[in-house]
């Protein structure tokens, strides 16, 4: 518990630092958002209307410090401002359209990749030199070297278009309305197969190799020999003695990956027209939509911090040393 409390202060500091960076970075980008907005309407708007819109958006030439205080003040009221790209929708409304779907898709994909990758790593090391150990790592590294979106496009083309085994776009069938019914949930799962597979294939190798390398070290430890000598079952040694200790570095990685889930597996989402955050982020950058960018970065930052807190708690459970004084 003390370990976690000690870290909370650190988290608060990290949150503040990222909020501030979040405010600064978009404003350091080249280009002026009002003219970018102008650009989006490609000549549809006359200059007088632009000037009026500028005011409606609250683009001001106030000093940065003042803008910063307004920003922080609004933030605490849960007001992230108006989106330029989706004017006149609120940033919170815009993010709400994609957040859930991104969480679902990337969350499921990361959990599967982490679980499967770690398991494969454990088994491969346990039967060192076996076919799993010699064939899988190079194959997975090879696949992992492909960009996500390339794998996504291949899956879309082969499984989606040629064999028509799975739907190729959207999070659920257009003919269904979201509901808590078996039909809808099944439909969502079906739509998730291809995009999730693309992400899992691309990231599986990393998890497996990490697990494998720490497992190799752990297996050489004396307590493993000891457990063997005591005649414990192989399964128990493999999972309770070896894997539990070897898992620690991977758990740290899992925390990071969970956090980045929110940034969306950007390109995968776009390939499959998945209604997530990835596209929103691109739209925000293209339109210099400060408010939306800040909103998205904020959710990402908070997610990374939250996930790290979760990992800290997991650590306490996995590693008894953190419980000691």
Partner 1 sequence: MTIAQEQQASWIRNFNPLLASNSSRWPTRAGVYEPLMIFNTLKGELVPWLATKHEWSEDNKKLTLTLRPGVKWSDGQPFTAKDVAFTFGLMKQHKALDISAVWTFLDSVQAKDDATVEFTMTRAFVPGLIYIVHQPIVPEHKWKDVADPVMYKNETPVATGPFTEVKVFQNQVFELGRNPHYWQPGKPAVESIRFPAYPSNDQANLALLTGELDWAGSFVPDIDRVFVAKDKEHNHYWFPLVGNTTVLYVNTTKKPFNDVRVRKALSMAIDRDQIVKVAMYGYTRPSDATALSDTHDRWRNPQAVQAGDWTKLNIEKANAMLDEAGYKKGADGVRVGPDKKPLRFDVNVVTGWTDWVRAAQIITQNLKQVGVDAVLKTYDFSPYFERIQKGEFDASMGWTSEEPSPYFVYRDLMGTETLRPIGEVSARNWHRYGSKEADALLQAFEATNDPEEQKKIAYQMQDLFVKNAPVIPLFPGPSWGEYSTRRFTNFPNKDNPYAKLTPNTPPENLLVLVEVKPK
Which stretches of the chain bind partner 1, using CB under 8 A? 30-32, 35-36, 38-53, 55-56, 82, 86-89, 93-94, 97-98, 101, 161, 168-172, 174, 177-178, 269-271, 273-276, 278-280, 283, 286-288
CB nearer partner 1, residue 12 or residue 186: 186
Identify the CA nearest to 205 among candidates 127, 267, 118, 290: 118
Q: Which is nearer to partner 1, 94 or 303 (CB)?
A: 94
Q: Which is nearest to 247 in space by CA: 142, 128, 151, 121?
A: 121
Shortest separation between residue 300's beta carbon and partner 1, angstroms: 17
Nearest distance, CB of residue 20 and partner 1, angstroms: 24
In the bound state with partner 1, the residue whose beta carbon lies nearer, of 3 and 54, is: 54
Nearer to partner 1, 175 or 233 (CB): 175
Q: Closer CB to partner 1, residue 18 or residue 92?
A: 92
**90 pairs with which residues across the strands?**
82
Shortest distance, CB of residue 301 to partner 1, whole angstroms?
22
In the block, which residue shows the tokens 């709400």?
96
**In the bound complex, what is the minimum distance in angstroms from residue 165's beta carbon to partner 1?**
14
User: Residue 113 or residue 300: which is nearer to partner 1 going by CB?
Assistant: 300
CB of 295 to partner 1, least distance (A): 14
Question: How many Cβ atoms are within 10 Å of 111's Cβ, its own excluded?
Answer: 16
90 backbone dihedrals φ, ψ, rounded to 5°? -75, 150
DSSP conformation letters of 222-283:
HHHHHHHHHT--HHHIIIIIIIHHHTHHHHHHHHHHHHHGGG--HHHHHHTT--SHHHHHHH
What is the nearest approach in angstroms of partner 1 to the Cβ of residue 47? Answer: 5
CA distance 165 to 230: 51
Q: What Rg value do the Cα atoms of the chain yield, rounded?
A: 24
CB nearer to partner 1: pick between 52 and 145? 52
* Minimum CB distance to partner 1 smaller for 109 or for 237: 109
Q: How far is the CB of 104 from partner 1 (least distance, A)?
A: 13
Whether the ω angle into residue 88 lies within 30 degrees of 0, i.e. cis, is yes
Smallest gap from residue 24 Cβ to partner 1 (A): 19
Q: Report which of 248, 260, 269 is spatially closest to residue 314, judged by C-alpha positions.
A: 248
Asked if 267 contacts 147 with a C-beta cutoff of 8 angstroms, the reply is yes
- Residue 13 burial by CB count (10 A; 0-12/13-18/19+): exposed, middle or buried? exposed
């Amino acid at each position: 518990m003390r370990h976690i409390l000690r870290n909370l202060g650190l988290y608060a500091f990290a949150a503040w630092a990222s909020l501030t960076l979040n405010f600064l970075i978009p404003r350091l980008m080249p280009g002026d958002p009002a003219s970018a907005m102008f650009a989006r309407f490609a000549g549809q708007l006359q200059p007088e209307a632009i000037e009026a819109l500028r005011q409606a958006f609250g683009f001001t030439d106030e000093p940065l410090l003042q803008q910063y205080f307004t920003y922080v003040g609004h933030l605490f009221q849960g007001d992230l401002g108006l989106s330029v790209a989706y004017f006149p929708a609120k940033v919170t409304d815009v993010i709400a359209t994609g957040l859930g779907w991104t969480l679902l898709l990337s969350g499921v994909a990361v959990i599967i990749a982490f679980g499967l990758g770690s398991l494969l790593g454990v088994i491969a090391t346990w039967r060192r030199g076996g076919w799993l150990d010699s064939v899988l790592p190079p194959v997975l590294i090879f696949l992992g070297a492909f960009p996500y979106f390339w794998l996504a496009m291949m899956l879309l083309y082969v499984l989606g278009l040629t064999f028509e085994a799975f739907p190729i776009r959207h999070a659920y069938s257009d003919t269904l309305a979201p509901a808590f019914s078996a039909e809808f949930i099944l439909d969502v799962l079906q739509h998730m197969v291809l995009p999730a597979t693309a992400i899992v294939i691309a990231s599986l190798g990393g998890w497996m190799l990490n697990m494998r390398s720490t497992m190799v070290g752990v297996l050489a430890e004396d307590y493993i020999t000891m457990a063997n000598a005591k005649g414990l079952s192989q399964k128990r040694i493999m999972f309770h003695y070896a894997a539990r200790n070897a898992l620690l570095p991977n758990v740290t990685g899992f925390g990071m990956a969970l956090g980045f889930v929110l940034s969306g597996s950007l390109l995968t989402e776009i390939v499959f027209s998945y209604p997530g955050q990835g596209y929103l982020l691109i739209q925000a950058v293209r339109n210099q939509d400060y408010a939306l960018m800040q909103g998205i970065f904020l959710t990402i930052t908070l997610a990374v911090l939250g996930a790290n807190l979760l990992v800290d708690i997991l650590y306490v459970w996995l590693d008894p040393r953190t419980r000691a004084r």
